[in-house]
Chain A
């Protein structure tokens, strides 16, 4: 089976933002945290399992679209997402700690 590179890139970007979103949501919503705990016994395991499932689901969805040549541009979007997502998570916990 030939891998669809663009679908994989889009799926990775979606998973990165899903992790960032779940990280924030767990901190601000006790209900969401409790759903993750019920689903996987610990919220972090819940996020891990959901991220892995989401990668497969996103890939199956995005591979329906035609593979284009924009791999380098897509990789820059992945890198941008990693940097922005990482800085957002760090800034959120720093802000949370300073304002406690």
Chain B
């Protein structure tokens, strides 16, 4: 167990839930719901940026030096070579998508009540962020499994 992984995962999932909140507020928007959506998008973006920093710090200081060689020497090396490599790069899309959602909500504000096209655009983007964040959490589970399998193989 590592505290930084817990903080990284918690910030990422809380960020995903913030964008689920944005999506729900936009289904039947009013002035107050749009204001809450802007707050949720700003909060979600900050959480994703936080997950980026904490995950990056863990990746550079701990994972690369300690975890990666063990996974690569274990029975499931693909969990690093395919899953970690994909996760660490696809994750970079998320904070930028968060900025886009926040930017559209801030730019169009109450116009979103009348403009269905832009509302649909923000709903779809928020849904994409939620799906990607949970998919990335699933990748984290696979990487942990690869590490555990490698440790078990060493012990047995």
Contacts and interface: CB of A to CB of B under 8 A. Distances in A.
Interface of A: 2-5, 8-9, 12, 15-16, 19-20, 23, 41-42, 44-45, 47-48, 51, 55, 71-72, 74-75, 78-79, 82, 85-86, 89-90, 93-94, 96-97, 100
Contacts of B125: 75, 78-79
Nearest to B77: A97
Contacts of A3: 103, 106-107
A15 B64 CA distance: 25
Nearest to B120: A72
Contact of A93 (B59, B85, B103, B132): B85
11 contacts: A2-B107, A3-B107, A5-B108, A48-B92, A51-B96, A71-B118, A75-B125, A82-B93, A82-B97, A82-B128, A86-B132
A44 B56 contact: yes
Contact of A12 (B86, B88, B90, B97): B97
A5 B81 CA distance: 37
Name B's interface SS.
helix
B124 interface: yes
B113 to A, nearest CB: 15
A94 B83 CA distance: 9
Interface in B102-136: 103-104, 106-108, 117-118, 120-122, 124-125, 128, 132
A79 B101 CA distance: 12
A5 B103 contact: yes
Contacts of B3: none
